[in-house]
Amino acid sequence: MFTKNQQKMLALSIFIAVSFYFVFIFTADTNKILITINRLTFYDWLIILSCSFISYSIRFIRWHYYIQSFGHFLPVTLHFIYYLAGFALTTTPAKAGETLRSVYLHRHGVKYSHSLASFFTERLLDVLVMLILASSILFNLDKSESHYVLFVISLIVIIGLLLPFLGSRQPQHILRFLIHHLSNKTILLFLKHALSLLQSAHSLLSIKILPQGIFLGFMAWFIQGLAFHFILIQVGFPLDLSMTLTIYALSILAGAASFIPGGIGATETVMGLMLVSAGSEPAIAIAVPILTRLATLWFAVCVGLLANAYLSINNTKSYL
């Protein structure tokens, strides 16, 4: 199912998260936090988790489209299970563990360069989509939020330069030049793999495919942002939707930038600080990030573990 290193990473991320959440809860007003958490009913959770699953499904549509664009046609249901299985290791830095999908797909003739290019493009477009969702902060230049504004502008500049650069042939020319002029075998192997990945990613970043990827990514993350908005309403701290999306997107970006497994701690901290800045009570600022992460990150991990368990039980050539 997983390698020993993957099992250790998953166990470590769960331990870090549980420890972090317990420290957050029991060093503040525990009663108020628990009261806030208990405001969500069973039907509220059903709505929130449904939003998350719809988001995963939309992202799968994008992924399936990418894999098909390379000429690989898998049964949709089986491919969806493979996609969900990758979420079991979404707590790894930059979600690199999600490349577990590549192992499953390779058994069906999908080259690693194709699946990894799809993963790379997904992550790049997710950052772009999050920047779009967070962009409203640029029109609300509060001095206390200047560091967030600088963070967003910096990322916009980086992605704005990176996308057209990767969409051109220039990076491939640079790698080919280096391959022909370097002799270190380890470096050469790395450069050849990087060249293969960029050649595959180039087609996904073309003007023909890129808009669909951005649109589907936006829809998926917007729905997750709506779930966050719904949580805030249910716990008694409604905010303007644009502010809600900004807080959610910036928190996710901060978690990704931290390179901490799953952004655990960084995402919750930034989300809590921004909620306090928006005027929330400390209990809400602690409870809401925990609830949100349970409904997104940890729900994804649970879904991924179930998908992997299903694939392990049905361990036939059709699945593995």
Q: Give the pLDDT score at 122.
A: 92
CA pair distance 131, 156, nearest whole angstrom: 7
In a domain, 319, yes or no: no
In a domain, 290, yes or no: yes
Q: Give the pLDDT score at 320.
A: 38
Q: What percent of the chain has pLDDT over 90?
A: 45
Read off the pTM.
0.86
Structure tokens at 212: 């669909």
Q: Give the pLDDT score at 295.
A: 95
Listed as ranges, residues in the chain with pLDDT below 50 are: 143, 316-320
Contact between 83 and 60 under an 8 Å Cβ cutoff? The reply is yes
Contact between 174 and 142 under an 8 Å Cβ cutoff? The reply is no
Q: How many structural domains compose the chain?
A: 1
In a domain, 300, yes or no: yes
Instruction: Determine the distance from the C-alpha atom of residue 267 to the mean position of all C-alpha atoms in its chain, rounded to a whole number.
Output: 12
In a domain, 150, yes or no: yes
In a domain, 318, yes or no: no
CA pair distance 15, 113, nearest whole angstrom: 33
CA distances to 12, 46, 205, 295, 299 from 51, rounded to whole Å, are 27, 9, 28, 9, 11
What domain range is 130 assigned to? Answer: 4-313
CA pair distance 299, 267, nearest whole angstrom: 16
